[in-house]
A and B are shown apart, each in its own frame.
Chain A
């Protein structure tokens, strides 16, 4: 054990090894498919094979004769037994506000219709092949622009023209247009961001168990949000909240798509209630590509207006967000955030946008790491580089001159973001320096080389509940922590956030251990079970667990420390202000002989013997932390690339991140999150895309055709941090789980355009696959022969 791990009071900021790695490294983790309850039946979810149509016949008679098949929950039965799932983030005027668990008219391939139960997964799959479903097919629309056309099939009566949401953002349109008209130059470009699958390596899955005797339903679920899932599950099934328990066991990654309760999960629970034995459903990978929400897909018609001297005047983007078959739990939220964070770290006289959320016959789009901010960075930072090209200016210098200065913070943007603290230009400066260092002299291999930058500001720590109310996002923005020193002197932290790889079991423990003067090994973080965890409306999403959840731990543990010192002072006949807690011992500062073990203090407190007058028994504090305001992290990423003019392949030769997420609790974890985010950003930039044919059939079914980044695509990278504390969060942390994902596409795209300026005007779409880049090179006449 390192010094830092054994010495109390010094854990925040230390590279503390994770406390839960042992079980994960030995195969002793418990993921949902690792649960084996006696008598479990296995479910296959029956799904729509077509993109749009009415189910006209359903016949499970033959399936029910198959060996091992026990029950089939038919669509009509499921529809009668469930209530619609509510959309959680409702935009003003949103035309569809909920969706049925089982629809009469299917709107995408993979939509859940029923459940078949059998004694094994194999028997269930065999049985499902014999379920007969007939559809009256309807015309479908898969392209978001086509969906706006007069001839497009209309998917929802509440969304005429297939538009579910249409709202302005930022300054009034007239004001933005007037500002653009005043400027010397305008760069106008159309950007398309592809559809992605977040693809946690553990797909979704649930085990559902119903107790007829108590009327209690338990759902173990691979989820980021146990309480949120519980609330919506109870709502869909018409159960009281106290009769529904949701447990997130070990969860194999989330990245956004596991931030909600899904219709198929409701169906599996319903099947378990009918079967009266536990039911397990594990999503397979092919299923995941159509059953789990997608992310990203947006089109931006964007303009950046600027003067001859390089001053930014105005910024505007008209966004089409492809919502898929119906608004998901977050609906047009990512486009709302994309326009809200479009301004990034720069000043503008005026800025705004328009958000249209449009329905198509594809899987609904939901949350994915970077949530709109990736799109905003791609659009803004590409425009900035094209403005620099127009002016013949250095892209770094143009950024610097327009950046909000440290002495201008706090600063309110045109979309009402109250940027809090930091020094955006310092990150830019450092990233620009670092990307040039250590770059090998370019070999004469015929490839073009270039460097690209992306600077961004990130909305983290969702959020004050009052802000959630303003934007119509029906999730309380607070988090609760309970910190207890047990009678044996060890501490337990109960948290409402629900880690699934982020290492909060360690980093939250660091916060509590510092406050309580305990070694990290004496603090245990408990989470993930609605029966024991404090209520959390939002869960682990939106880079909020360390800010909002951590802030609650800081405050609860801080108050508990005060009580410990009061009681110890009473026992030691010393003034509490003279006491400190070192390694689980409360002692008079500078006089270690006048000391009492924390364990003794805890025993007294829990016996409630000999307490000072007025002191309540026990050593436990609870804090409900609704943050004072949003925390804004920021960074500049820089990429150096080599571009093969014969193949269109982009190789990343150097990647730099200079990042500020406030106070860093565990630098090892923060760097790890950053690496992982950048890797997903590289997938976004270069590799991944979900493709549909024109009748709404996905052309992606496996990880062989949906290409995720592997070790060969993700280089070692330089990650540096500055630490500007959040003024609003106890402990000073800002959120950082998503940050790495936001910038890579823009940094790499700018590097590509820098390397091959002949195609700069074409660098508007992701992923920048060799085929696409080669097309640009060919169009510009710079592609070379093999």
Chain B
């Protein structure tokens, strides 16, 4: 019996080039979490419903649990670990802390990545709020997640 097919995948993670030999069926979420030990990307459903595994691929929010490893070959992947440059929380992370926009924190990295994509694409606060239905949070009831979005965007506009 032959083993699963493997392939070398080269891509950038948070600006750092990586090369991994992996089974072609490996999910990007597993590649990040288990091969690269970037465990900040969480897996809540493995079927694209909850959004916890969202990462940025070439700047666009993607469900890493619905992508296979070869799909990120040659691309730029960013995860929650890349947000706090130099260890300081970025403005979005600070807004979530200030507004109590997280409780258990399991869904939070995915939400942060979607919103980072929205911010970097120059989207409005309304756009950002409209992106939230792509995420499930079981703790906050979304009230303070929305408050954090409003705070982050008002700071962006104020700066």
| Contact A285 B145, CB 8 Å, known A18-B97, A200-B104 | no
Q: Is the CB of B139 within 8 A of A676?
A: yes
A22 on the B face (CB < 8 A): yes
**A675 cross-chain contacts in B, Cβ below 8 A:** 140-144
**B109 cross-chain contacts in A, Cβ below 8 A:** 27
Nearest CB of B to A568, in Å: 35
| Contact A25 B142, CB 8 Å, known A285-B47, A711-B133 | no
| Contact A676 B49, CB 8 Å, known A25-B97, A500-B104, A669-B100 | no
| Contact A66 B79, CB 8 Å, known A201-B44, A668-B100, A712-B133 | no
A66–B3 alpha-carbon span in the complex (Å): 9
**A36 cross-chain contacts in B, Cβ below 8 A:** 34, 37
**B121 cross-chain contacts in A, Cβ below 8 A:** none
Please, what's the 1-or-0 string for A1-37, where 1 marks a CB less than 8 Å from any CB in chain B? 0000000000000000110011011111111011010
Q: Is the CB of A676 within 8 A of B100?
A: no
Which of B45, B98, B143 is close to A285, meaning CB atoms less than 8 Å apart?
Answer: B45
| Contact A711 B89, CB 8 Å, known A501-B105, A704-B47 | no
B52 on the A face (CB < 8 A): yes
B75 on the A face (CB < 8 A): no
A757–B141 alpha-carbon span in the complex (Å): 30
**A203 cross-chain contacts in B, Cβ below 8 A:** 44
Which of A24, A201, A676 is close to B50, meaning CB atoms less than 8 Å apart?
Answer: A201
B83 on the A face (CB < 8 A): yes
**B79 cross-chain contacts in A, Cβ below 8 A:** 27
A502–B37 alpha-carbon span in the complex (Å): 27
Residue of B nearest to A251 (CB): B104
**B137 cross-chain contacts in A, Cβ below 8 A:** 201
Q: Is the CB of B105 within 8 A of A29?
A: yes
Q: Is the CB of B141 within 8 A of A714?
A: yes
Q: Is the CB of A25 within 8 A of B136?
A: no
Please, what's the 1-or-0 string for A559-601, where 1 marks a CB less than 8 Å from any CB in chain B? 0000000000000000000000000000000000000000000
B46 on the A face (CB < 8 A): yes
Find residues 681-704 in chain A having any chain B CB closer than 8 Å to their own CB: 702-704
Which of B23, B139, B141 is close to A122, meaning CB atoms less than 8 Å apart?
Answer: B23
**B141 cross-chain contacts in A, Cβ below 8 A:** 672, 675-680, 709, 714, 740
B10 on the A face (CB < 8 A): no
A615–B37 alpha-carbon span in the complex (Å): 50
**B39 cross-chain contacts in A, Cβ below 8 A:** 27, 30-31, 33-34
Q: Is the CB of A672 within 8 A of B103?
A: yes
Which of A250, A501, A710, A717 is close to B136, meaning CB atoms less than 8 Å apart?
Answer: A710
Nearest CB of A to B62, in Å: 16
Nearest CB of B to A424, in Å: 24
Q: Is the CB of A672 within 8 A of B93?
A: no
Q: Is the CB of A253 within 8 A of B100?
A: no
A717–B144 alpha-carbon span in the complex (Å): 11
Q: Is the CB of B112 within 8 A of A255?
A: no
Q: Is the CB of B45 within 8 A of A122?
A: no
Nearest CB of B to A221, in Å: 15
Residue of A nearest to B84 (CB): A26
A754–B107 alpha-carbon span in the complex (Å): 37
Q: Is the CB of A501 within 8 A of B80?
A: no
Q: Is the CB of A284 within 8 A of B46?
A: yes
| Contact A703 B45, CB 8 Å, known A710-B133, A714-B141, A716-B146 | yes
Q: Is the CB of A672 within 8 A of B140?
A: yes
A24–B137 alpha-carbon span in the complex (Å): 14
**A26 cross-chain contacts in B, Cβ below 8 A:** 40, 80-81, 83-84, 89, 93
**B96 cross-chain contacts in A, Cβ below 8 A:** 21, 25
A35–B4 alpha-carbon span in the complex (Å): 25
Nearest CB of A to B26, in Å: 8
Find residues 75-102 in chain B having any chain A CB closer than 8 Å to their own CB: 79-81, 83-84, 89, 93, 96-98, 100, 102
Find residues 9-39 in chain B having any chain A CB closer than 8 Å to their own CB: 23, 25-26, 30, 33-34, 37-39
| Contact A708 B138, CB 8 Å, known A26-B80, A122-B23 | yes
A669–B140 alpha-carbon span in the complex (Å): 10
A96 on the B face (CB < 8 A): no
Residue of A nearest to B1 (CB): A67
Which of B3, B26, B143 is close to A67, meaning CB atoms less than 8 Å apart?
Answer: B3
Nearest CB of A to B86, in Å: 11
Residue of B nearest to A35 (CB): B39
A285–B79 alpha-carbon span in the complex (Å): 23
**A27 cross-chain contacts in B, Cβ below 8 A:** 38-41, 79-81, 109
A252 on the B face (CB < 8 A): yes
Q: Is the CB of B108 within 8 A of A24?
A: yes
Nearest CB of B to A167, in Å: 33
Q: Is the CB of B102 within 8 A of A702?
A: no
A26–B86 alpha-carbon span in the complex (Å): 11
B151 on the A face (CB < 8 A): no
A110 on the B face (CB < 8 A): no
Nearest CB of A to B56, in Å: 13
Nearest CB of B to A18, in Å: 7
Nearest CB of B to A732, in Å: 23
**B108 cross-chain contacts in A, Cβ below 8 A:** 24-25
Q: Is the CB of A25 within 8 A of B105?
A: yes
| Contact A708 B136, CB 8 Å, known A28-B40, A285-B44, A285-B46 | yes
A202 on the B face (CB < 8 A): yes
A503 on the B face (CB < 8 A): yes
| Contact A21 B102, CB 8 Å, known A27-B39, A252-B42, A708-B136 | yes
B152 on the A face (CB < 8 A): no
Which of B84, B132, B140 is close to A25, meaning CB atoms less than 8 Å apart?
Answer: B84
Residue of A nearest to B145 (CB): A711
Please, what's the 1-or-0 string for A114-144, where 1 marks a CB less than 8 Å from any CB in chain B? 0000000110000000000000000000000
B43 on the A face (CB < 8 A): yes
Q: Is the CB of A255 within 8 A of B47?
A: no
A284–B45 alpha-carbon span in the complex (Å): 7
Nearest CB of A to B45, in Å: 4
Residue of A nearest to B23 (CB): A122
**A717 cross-chain contacts in B, Cβ below 8 A:** 143
A199 on the B face (CB < 8 A): yes
**B47 cross-chain contacts in A, Cβ below 8 A:** 285, 702-704
**B83 cross-chain contacts in A, Cβ below 8 A:** 25-26
Find residues 106-149 in chain B having any chain A CB closer than 8 Å to their own CB: 106-109, 112, 129, 132-133, 135-146
A66–B4 alpha-carbon span in the complex (Å): 11
**B135 cross-chain contacts in A, Cβ below 8 A:** 710-711
Pick the most buried of B23, B37, B106: most chain A CB atoms within 10 A of its CB.
Answer: B106
Nearest CB of A to B159, in Å: 20
Residue of B nearest to A68 (CB): B3
Q: Is the CB of B93 within 8 A of A25?
A: yes
Nearest CB of A to B77, in Å: 14
Which of B97, B103, B140, B142 is close to A17, meaning CB atoms less than 8 Å apart?
Answer: B97
A676–B136 alpha-carbon span in the complex (Å): 12
A704–B46 alpha-carbon span in the complex (Å): 11
| Contact A711 B142, CB 8 Å, known A201-B136, A253-B104, A285-B46 | yes
8 example contacts (A-B, Cβ-Cβ < 8 A) are as follows A21-B97, A25-B83, A26-B40, A27-B109, A203-B44, A250-B104, A252-B104, A503-B103
Q: A501-B104, A710-B132 are in contact. List 15 more A-B contacts (CB 8 A).
A: A17-B100, A25-B84, A26-B83, A36-B34, A67-B1, A122-B4, A201-B50, A201-B137, A252-B104, A501-B139, A675-B141, A676-B141, A703-B50, A708-B138, A714-B142
Q: B residues engaging A (CB < 8 A)?
A: 1, 3-4, 23, 25-26, 30, 33-34, 37-47, 49-50, 52, 79-81, 83-84, 89, 93, 96-98, 100, 102-109, 112, 129, 132-133, 135-146
7 closest residue pairs by CB, A with B: A27-B40, A24-B105, A501-B104, A252-B106, A679-B141, A675-B141, A703-B49
